[in-house]
Structure 1
Amino acid sequence: MKLQQLRYALEVYRHNLNVSEAADALFTSQPGISKQIRLLEEELGIQIFIRSGKRVVSVSQPGMAVLEISERILRDVQNIKNIGSEFTDYDSGSLTIATTHTQARYVLPHIVADFVKRYPKVRLTVKQGSSADIAQMVGNGEADIAIVTEKLDEQPELRKLDCHQWNYAVFVPDSHLLLECRNPLSIEDLASFPLLTYESAFQAGSSVARAFEKAGLDHPEIVLAAADTDVLKTYVRLGLGAGLMAKTAYNAETDKDLQAVDVAHLFEPSPVWIAVRADTYLRGYTYDFIEMFSPKLTREAVDRILYMPIVEDFSI
């Protein structure tokens, strides 16, 4: 059994059982991957993947167990490498951050610029997606840390580092009728206009959904939902409706043709977390990036959260 065989099998699974895509991701050949996986299956005496002809169509029950263990093994191998690198190449390596478009576009630029100046030999990668997508990236090892703005109840293997909070604002052109409404804006007034907002804004349990439910209002008319804040702004400018977006996304220079109406009084603040796997060995520069993003998260504070033993309470 070789680590390479485990990596090949896991990559096929991660690419929705598409061997060609897995081969491209690993910069190798499809026949080579297929051969190594079959050798692994022969050694184990089980089928990891169920095939129909030459196509992989599903994962067997024992195969799923093999893949889960393989993921842990490969993660531990990477942790061992990280420990060695921490002492031999403490200021070089790679760091992959998964985050939302709003964070990547409006919050991270100056932090990333400062980090690159401090660690010029660290290869930094920023991946974007929904909160669910980026949490999954960290969970399966595609990213080292995730900066998320929604709940992570479905990822119990991740530890959350509380950073700060953000509030909503309504973005409208200078001539929009919403600007004629009372000040402060009421949720009834807001509900009377077509809205453009994030795909997750009205998910069950979100601060926006709770606010409308508390007011006894049905969901307003949503003319466009998108993950990209700049896309939402584009259609706000075209007059499709009022944009309900993160207040931090307003840029006084580039958004001179828009006004941002503060609606923090209507919606509860939304938390921002950094999520990491508790079993991941963090490099020194990763600790520094986390502290640059949220100064209260020093290395000592992060270690207390990540590695503090869980105390079971059996009292009744």
Structure 2
Amino acid sequence: MNLHQFRFIQEAARRNLNLTETAKALYTSQPGISKAILELEEELGIDIFVRHGKRLKRITEPGQRVLQAVDVILREVANLKRIGEEYSKQDSGTLVIATTHTQARYLLPGPLVALRKRHPKVVVTLLEAAPPQVAQMLLEDRADVGLATEALAGTEGLLSLPCYEWQHMLVMPADHPLAATERLTLEQIAREPVVSYSAAYAGRTRIDQAFALKGLSPQVVLEATDADVIKTYVRHGMGLGIVPEITVKDDPACAAGGDLVVRPMGQFFGRNTTRIAFKRSAYLRSFVYTFAELVSERMNRSLIEKLMAGQAEHYEL
């Protein structure tokens, strides 16, 4: 059986079983339609139509059931065509990005502005969430791509690649007693109140582990999910801030002469990796590849295609 046969019997029913009109509507020959219908009936082992000579007189009871099934099949075929048309328009559509606030605020503005110039018909939706929720959005097909430091690499059903590495930075007011010390120790930091990220964000686990290995307990007095909030409370004297490197890199307040002083903490807390992730079975449109390439210079379409084909799962920076 094939789609041509299905279309023939559906159109015949619509044309009051007039095969001449059916042939005109489908731009084919009447004998060809008659032969195709007979072959379908033979394959199914039933009569779809009652005949009088070569004319179709009425639809049989099993024929009614066949037509109901054919209507469903052809409706879904039409849906498949619409899906194909939607996704084949590679220069337009909606790109849904699930990510944390830090990536949305500090990493993505440049890439998204560049994406807008290259794909002006693409509408971008940003969904900000904690890393576990970012992973879940990908799995549930609520997002096309995910960006986060935690959760993505270890979630079954997702494929991810490393975008960039970063370290934590200690932030303090320029007039803080420790601001004049170039090489701080964990013991010095542990004696001060600390303002940092919540446990699920921005490599906080590494911070806690580093203190624990030294037998120290940081005096965390405030937790947040936004580096700008952390820096605000640092300015108000709440404590020393611990934030991702990207959040201070281009901040004039953290540059020479600014009201905040920063110190690298990679020697204590190690290096962190922010990753880009996709659902294993996802179909990626061309602008998704473009977005990934704009996010990280290490990304390219060939690498991502290898990832989706299961050939680059162990690629690291």
Give the TM-score of the pair, scaled to structure 2: 0.67
Q: Aligned-pair distance for 1:160? A: 1.1
Unaligned runs of 5+ in 2: 1-77
Q: Aligned match of 2:281 in 248, 261, 279?
A: 279
Look up the equivalent residue of 1:227 and give its one-letter code. T
- Are residue 150 (structure 1) and residue 150 (structure 2) matched? yes
Highest Rg: 1 or 2? 2
Instruction: Give the distance between the partners of 1:78 and 1:121, measured in 2 at CA.
Output: 23
C-alpha contact (below 8 Å) 2:97/2:144 kept by paired residues: yes
Q: What corresponds to 2:221 in structure 1?
A: 223
Counterpart of 1:303 in structure 2 is 305
Question: Which residue number corresponds to residue 117 of structure 2?
Answer: 117
Residue matched to 2:129: 129
> Contact 2:253 / 2:260 at 8 angstroms: preserved in 1?
no
Question: Once the two structures are aligned, what percentage of the paired residues are identical?
Answer: 32
CA distance in 1, matches of 2:178, 2:84: 56
Deviations 1:209-244 (A, max 9, x none): 2211222223x1111111111111111111100110
Offset, 1:84 = 3.3
Structure 1 residue 237 and structure 2 residue 235: aligned?
A: yes
Number of equivalences = 232
- Sort the Cα spacing of 1:104 and 1:82 in 2 relative to 1 into closer, same or farther, 3 A: farther
What's the CA shift string for 1:132-188, capped at 9, x where partnerless?
12112212122111101113366211111111111100111111122144x321111
Return the offset for 1:80.
Answer: 7.8
* Alpha-carbon distance in 1 for matches of 2:260, 2:206: 24
Quote the residue 2:205 is aligned against.
206
Q: Distance in 2 between matches of 1:98 and 1:249?
A: 19
Give, in whole Å, the separation in 2 of the partners of 1:81 and 1:134. 28
Instruction: Measure the CA separation in 1 of the matches of 2:143 and 2:251.
Output: 32
**8 Å contact kept, 1:145–1:276:** yes
Distance 1:97 1:85, change over 3 A: same
How far apart are the structure 1 equivalents of 2:226 and 2:273?
19
Contact 2:227 2:247 in 1 (8 A): yes
8 Å contact kept, 1:201–1:209: no
Aligned to 2:138: 138
Deviation of 1:128 (Å): 1.1
Give the secondary-structure state (helix, strand or coil) at the position aligned to 2:252. Answer: coil
- Distance in structure 2 (CA, Å) of the matches to 1:78 and 1:243: 53
- Aligned CA RMSD, in angstroms, stands at 2.7
Kindly indicate whether the alpha-carbon contact (under 8 Å) linking 2:91 and 2:287 is maintained by their aligned counterparts in 1: yes
2:85 maps to a residue whose letter is G
Gaps of 5+ in 1: 1-76, 312-316
The answer for the alignment partner of 1:163 in structure 2 is 163
Amino acid at match of 2:228: D
Which letter maps to 2:139? Answer: G
Whole-Å Cα distance in 2 between the matches of residues 168 and 281 of structure 1?
35
Match of 1:36 in 2: none
* Distance in 2 of aligned mates of 1:80 and 1:172: 58
